Amino acid sequence: MAPNLRRKRQWTKLCFSLVAAVLCCYAGVFTLRRSGYIARAGLDEPIQSASLRFSRNTGGTGRYLVREAGQVWPKPQHQVSTVEVFVLNRDTFNFNYAPGSQRCEILDLAFERYTEIIFSIDEATTSRKCDADSTCLTVLEVSVKEPCKGASLHLESKEKYGLVVTREGVKLKADSVWGALRGLETFSQLIYRGEHGLYTLNRTDITDFPRFPHRGVLLDTSRHFVPVKYILQNLDAMAFNKFNVFHWHIVDDPSFPYESVAFPELSKKGAFHPDTHVYTQKDVRTILEYARLRGIRVVPEFDTPGHTLSWGHAKPDLLKTCYTMSGKYRGALNPVHEATYQFMGKLLQEVKDVFPDQLVHLGGDEVNFACWKNDAEITQFMEKQGYDYYAKLQTYYIQRIIKIVESLGKESAVWEDVAAKGQEGSVPKDTVIQVWRPRNWAQKMAQVTRHGLRTILSGCWYLDLISYGEDWPSYYRCDPHAFNGTKAQKDLVLGGEACLWGEFVDWTNLLPRLWPRASAIAERLWSSEDTTDMEDAAVRLGEHRCRMVRRGIPAQPLHPSACPFLPV
């Protein structure tokens, strides 16, 4: 069949599907009227266990259909929706600034973006007109109080917004442009295909703000190179989930893809390939700007002193040579050479210039002491300093690096290893400790916050660890406040991060592996502490997964199901 004919056939199919969709959504709205929630597409029994080849099933096909109902993910703090519905049409709907509102490129571009996102739900519905007597909304009016030109999100930024959908129109109010971005995302999610396939949304009043200010996703671009295109796609997905930190674990043992201005040889010799597997300064700027426009901070990680093998290809003297019976190998950065600190000073100066965020991640994890133990130079230094164990040398190193970062006017984040037991006092109070070990993470959170240090949690959110079946509930149930501690300690928890380490992930499988699993974490970090109803979450997550797929993110399925649009 010729492509044109096939296209036509699809259009015919679409017209039919419209009828089905209308019935489907109509049913959905009725449910909404009755209970305020929509039952999870009939998935009333748990999804089959891994021990069975097939899912057990006694019901009909309908139970697998994901329905559009305009439910929001992550769940807003306060939302009241009524049965009153309004419709939108592409030709007559506009995003506008309210009188007196601040204006800036961030919002201008967001208006364009969300117009596309909202009105590309399905080709068939775009041609539908709002008729005179239907309740047609023609404007969303944004009011932003703080100036926003050229702004970047930071840890203290306000993301709170108020969104009111009434007959008079849609009003979105926020102190900062970041609140407005979150509100636009929410608005776009409220819209579903309603009666007659029209873009429909219910009368709604939302006041929303995040529970935690640091909501991150870590990507590792060293174990596999991830082309810029996929990093940008992932930033889109993050915005769809109100994540606001891209923790860029940019270099590590396997490769050094960051093309440094001060030390170009690092990527020339340390990248997988110096031409194709590098992030040029232009690439980095592209990513930073793309993230900024979506209210996402980019926190770069230059992990030292361990995890630096790839640095040694260009700078062998940076690394300590270690000896075993079978030969020698390269260990961590040499902590007893002044040259190491001079080099790090220069590199961090560049990091400061290139990455605008206040926070720099310094790593500091998994230093191999075995190498130091065998080394005369190290031993001598230890004796001179009066250090009686190696963690003290590690502390010495990281303290000096943190000082460099301080002198540059930035703050440091480090992995929990740096705040080892007995060493918690060794880092400045404004250091952020990232807790990553899955075992006893709660104890670690308590220990770190007891010393007045701020912390972010990843221990229960290592999404590179996969298993068979629907695994998001375990991520969803993990709460960063679930440790024994005072209110003051809890307040030191800035948030958390979903980590997708790169051993088995590259551009071929990154997005489906991360999404929608990371969405569970997005809700835990944004929504109120008591948002714990798994049934309700399952329904909304099902819709949200399909929403991401429709927006072009290949988010993998959660369970046997079908999305309410042409399969992609």
Partner 1 sequence: MTSTPAAHDPNKMAVLRRTQAVFSVLLVLFVSPLPCHNVPAYQKPVMVQQTGKVLPKPQMLTVSAEAYTLAMSGFKFTYGSSSQMCDIVDQAFRRYYDLIFVVDGVKKAPVVSKDMSELTELQIMVKEPCTGVYPSLESSENYTLTVAAPMGTLVADSAWGVLRGLETFSQLVYRTDDGMIIINKTTVDDFPRFAHRGILLDTSRHFIPIKYIKQNLDAMAYNKFNVFHWHIVDDPSFPYQSVAFPDLSAKGAFNPYTHLYTQEDVKDVIEYSRLRGIRVVPEFDTPGHTASWGAGLPGFLTPCYDGSAPNGKYYAANPMLNTTYDYMTKLLQEIKDVFPDKYVHLGGDEVSFNCWKSNPDITKFMEKMGFGTDYSKLEEYYIKNILDITTSVGRDYIVWQEVLDNGVQVAKDTVVEVWKSNPSVPTEMARVTGQGLRAILSSCWYLNYIAYGEDWGKYYKCDPQDFSGTQAQKDLVIGGEACMWGEYVDGTNLIARLWPRASAVAERLWSNKDVTSMADATVRMDEQRCRMVRRGLNAEPLHPGFCQFEYD
Q: Does 53 bind partner 1 (CB under 8 A)?
A: yes
Instruction: Tell me the one-letter amino acid at 530.
Output: D
State yes or no: is 366 an active-site residue.
Answer: yes
Smallest distance, Å, CB 312 to partner 1?
A: 10
CA separation for the pair 352, 72 (Å, rounded): 37
CA separation for the pair 204, 130 (Å, rounded): 20
| CA-to-CA dists, residue 377 to 62, 124, 380, angstroms | 71, 73, 5
Q: Does 370 bind partner 1 (CB under 8 A)?
A: yes
β-pair partners for 58: none
Kindly tell me which residue out of 16, 23, 91, 127 binds partner 1, with binding defined by CB under 8 A: 16
Q: Does 467 bind partner 1 (CB under 8 A)?
A: yes
Q: Does 385 bind partner 1 (CB under 8 A)?
A: no
Instruction: Retrieve residue 251's tokens.
Output: 């270099």
β-pair partners for 435: 457
Closer CB to partner 1, 153 or 314, in the complex: 314
Question: Exposed, middle or buried by CB within 10 Å (0-12, 13-18, 19+), for 46?
Answer: exposed
Return the axis-axis angle of helices 281-293 and 105-119, rounded to nearest 10°: 80
Q: Does 409 bind partner 1 (CB under 8 A)?
A: no
Q: Tally Cβ neighbours within 10 Å of residue 408.
A: 14
In the region spanning residues 292 to 311, those forming contacts with partner 1, defined by CB under 8 A, are 306-307, 309
Closer CB to partner 1, 341 or 396, in the complex: 396
Smallest distance, Å, CB 72 to partner 1?
A: 22
**Binding string, 100-139, against partner 1, x = CB under 8 A?**
----------------------------------------
Number of residues near partner 1 (by CB under 8 A): 91
Q: Which of 498, 565, 528 lies closest to 234 in space, CA to CA?
A: 498
| CA-to-CA dists, residue 310 to 175, 319, 338, 348, 367, angstroms | 44, 10, 20, 17, 15
Closer CB to partner 1, 74 or 254, in the complex: 254
229, 237 Cβ separation under 8 angstroms? no
Q: Does 17 bind partner 1 (CB under 8 A)?
A: yes
Question: Exposed, middle or buried by CB within 10 Å (0-12, 13-18, 19+), for 283?
Answer: middle
Closer CB to partner 1, 70 or 502, in the complex: 502
In the region spanning residues 413 to 442, those forming contacts with partner 1, defined by CB under 8 A, are 436-438
The helix (run of H) or strand (run of E) holding residue 164 is strand 161-166
Smallest distance, Å, CB 468 to partner 1?
A: 5
Give the CA diameter of the chain: 87
Smallest distance, Å, CB 278 to partner 1?
A: 12
Q: Does 283 bind partner 1 (CB under 8 A)?
A: no
Stretch that binds partner 1, among 84-92, 133-141, 201-209, 494-502 (CB under 8 A): 494-502
Q: Does 11 bind partner 1 (CB under 8 A)?
A: no
283: left (phi over 0), alpha (psi -120 to 50) or beta: alpha
Instruction: Tell me the one-letter amino acid at 31.
Output: T
Smallest distance, Å, CB 287 to partner 1?
A: 16
Stretch that binds partner 1, among 125-133, 377-385, 444-452, 530-538 (CB under 8 A): 377-385
The alpha carbon dihedral of 322, 328, 333, 336 has a sign of: positive
Stretch that binds partner 1, among 126-134, 148-156, 287-295, 319-327 (CB under 8 A): 319-327
Closer CB to partner 1, 261 or 376, in the complex: 376
Q: Does 323 bind partner 1 (CB under 8 A)?
A: yes
Q: Does 4 bind partner 1 (CB under 8 A)?
A: no
Stretch that binds partner 1, among 73-81, 199-207, 281-289, 460-468 (CB under 8 A): 460-468
Classify 176 as helix, strand or coil.
coil
Smallest distance, Å, CB 385 to partner 1?
A: 11
Q: Does 55 bind partner 1 (CB under 8 A)?
A: yes
Kindly tell me which residue out of 2, 133, 326, 421 binds partner 1, with binding defined by CB under 8 A: 326
Given 366, 383, 503, 529, the catalytic residue: 366
In the region spanning residues 61 to 90, those forming contacts with partner 1, defined by CB under 8 A, are 61, 64-65
Kindly tell me which residue out of 7, 78, 149, 373 binds partner 1, with binding defined by CB under 8 A: 373
The helix (run of H) or strand (run of E) holding residue 83 is strand 78-88
Tell me the DSSP string of 503-531. Answer: TT--TTTHHHHHTTHHHHHHHHHHS-TT-
In the region spanning residues 166 to 225, those forming contacts with partner 1, defined by CB under 8 A, are 220, 223-225
Closer CB to partner 1, 90 or 330, in the complex: 330
In the region spanning residues 496 to 535, those forming contacts with partner 1, defined by CB under 8 A, are 499, 501-509, 511-513
Kindly tell me which residue out of 264, 356, 469, 473 binds partner 1, with binding defined by CB under 8 A: 469
| CA-to-CA dists, residue 290 to 30, 48, 175, 188, 221, angstroms | 40, 40, 22, 19, 18
Among all residues, which ones are annotated catalytic? 366
